[in-house]
Amino acid sequence: MHRSALILLLFVLGSFALVVVTQSSHAVGPTLQPSFQTTALWGSPQAPLLAAPGSTSLPLYVSVTNLGPEELFSVVMRFQASYPLTPIKGVPNNITLRLPALPVGSTVALVGYFNISPSIQPGVYNQTLNVDYILGNETYSQTLNVGVPILGQPKIQLAGFSYNPLRVYPGYPYAELTTVLVNTGTATASSVSVELNMSYPVYPLYNGSES
């Protein structure tokens, strides 16, 4: 009877130890996976730009830092642009960077030129960055989110107007009207088109003089 009890006790203790080792191996594994820090800005770190809805041909600078804990090898990074970003003509949607190694603490950058949809609201828009690398003898892949700031907003207002000559009377043969528009927003207005709509008793001197 004592012998049976001893065998049963050893079996129970052995099962408990097996569970602990299995849980420990799963808990340790993910800590070997590297952490990354991503930063996105328009322009460059030395000369940043404020992007706005409708901006065109702006350089997007995306930096990636390996926070460790391991150095990575045969690294391939692919930045996949999606709405509201579209690459300029001749630039692919995916910007790819290949590196033989990426030590802990090192930072690399991907740069591409993009247009921004004019029909969006200012905000931060998530884009995707895929990172493939070799760690030990295994190949891994991680998908990172990159927040792209589009926070600028142009605002065009009528600042004033003037006539030449300064005074115009009924029946005057012609006069020059000058209007002054000012962008009081926080970003450059692109592809601006201005048209002056006139009505009786004023009409354009020749076609095209009102735009």
pLDDT in tens, 122-136: 999 999 999 999 998
Q: Which residue has the higher pLDDT, 50 or 174?
A: 50
DSSP secondary-structure letter at 88?
P
Nearest to 101 by CA among 71, 136, 137: 71
| 112 strand-pairing partners | 60
What was the pLDDT predicted at 15? Answer: 25
As a dihedral over the C-alpha atoms of residue 15, residue 19, residue 21, residue 23, rounded to 10 degrees, the angle is 180
Single pTM value for the model: 0.67
What is the Cα–Cα distance from 52 to 152, expressed in whole angstroms?
A: 4
Residues 20-62 pLDDT 10s: 222 222 233 444 689 999 999 999 999 999 999 999 999 999 9
Nearest to 60 by CA among 93, 107, 106, 99: 93
Judge if the upstream peptide bond of residue 69 is cis by omega within 30 degrees of 0: yes
The full set of domains in the chain, from first to last, is 31-150 (2.60.40.740), 154-211 (no CATH)
What was the pLDDT predicted at 9? Answer: 33
Residues 142-159 pLDDT 10s: 999 999 999 987 778 888
- Tokens read off for 23: 């849980």
What was the pLDDT predicted at 208? Answer: 65
